[in-house]
Amino acid sequence: MVVLSQLALEPFSVIKTCKPIGLFSEIPVIDLTDPHAKTLIIKACEEFGFFKLVNHGVPMEVMTKLEALATNFFNLPQPEKDKAGPPNPFGYGNKKIGPNGDVGWVEYLLLNTNPQISSQKTSIFQENPQIFRSAVEDYILAVKRMAFEVLELMADGLEIESRNVFSRLLRDDKSDSCFRLNHYPPCSELQALSGGNLIGFGEHTDPQIISVLRSNNTSGLQICLKEGTWVSVPPDQTSFFINVGDALQVMTNGRFRSVKHRVLADPLKPRISMIFFGGPPLSEKIAPLPSLLAEREGSLYKEFTWFEYKRSAYKSRLADYRLGLFEKTAGQ
């Protein structure tokens, strides 16, 4: 891995690069209409913490409309985009990821999915902000429905009596969920200088319950397998990719694994991705579900509220192992 620092980025930026790797052909693919979907989801979450979802029920036109509007926004002159920032945490950001020094070859919009909380910054996203807002709302509504179904199939597959044990946390009016639009510009000149692809978004796990990702057909997403090998995920603009988050790893007492992932920028083609992060209410207590603990099996994690974990996560760097602070030690 090479650390690339030059005037072509920005004086404050030190953006890492790494060599591209081949596409991985063994990503689990799950058909949401398959009668065996619940069993396949459990297997994928245990082995990878990640799977591709097809026949998901989200209309293609809902996805492509929002992608087109996002592309229009990211193609605006930089001073126009900067009016939507800086993120606090919602709004427009460019290269800086979070408050703790992480940077990447990415620009983004981070939006709150709670309709009761709207940012004044959204008014400049388009000439007609209502068109943009409507497209975001239509997309999030469709993706939420799909996410609820996926979470309820997880509960079924785990043989939990209350099948809404996970989905209720996202259905809650106080659910602390958010939505992110990422744009990774092409970087051919910079790749030529460094000999590798710029890292658009560095390695990390998502702290929430699940993340639902959809992108255009530009590759770049990579996940880390159990043994530590990084593999490249083939893109598919018609499908969704589901990530297990830290909170779900805790609720399953480590049975599901929160997947470590990163994104490399393509040298020639822009990558646009849309991610719904499904989080619980801030006051929700997160702990392993008693029904998932085998006889005499102890909890691997201390109980904490989502607010406590979120606060801790925002103090960390992207690549930090955030759950370490909440794991029980011997004798606890």
Catalytic residues: 271
Radius of gyration, CA atoms only, the chain = 19
Residues composing the chain: 332
DSSP state for residue 310 in the 8-state scheme: H
Contact 186, 268 (CB under 8 A): yes
**Paired tokens of 124:** 């400049």
Report how far residue 41's alpha carbon sits from residue 47's, in angstroms, rounded to the nearest whole number.
10
Token pair 């609720």 is found at 251
CA atoms within 13 A on the CB side of 151: 27
**Pick from 204, 199, 235, 233: nearest CA to 217:** 235
Torsion 308-45-220-58 (CA) sign: negative
Specify burial of residue 294 (Cβ count, 10 A radius: 0-12, 13-18, 19+): exposed
**Pick from 83, 63, 60: nearest CA to 73:** 83
In Å, what is the CA distance from 8 to each residue of 5, 17, 23, 182, 269? 8, 15, 29, 21, 18
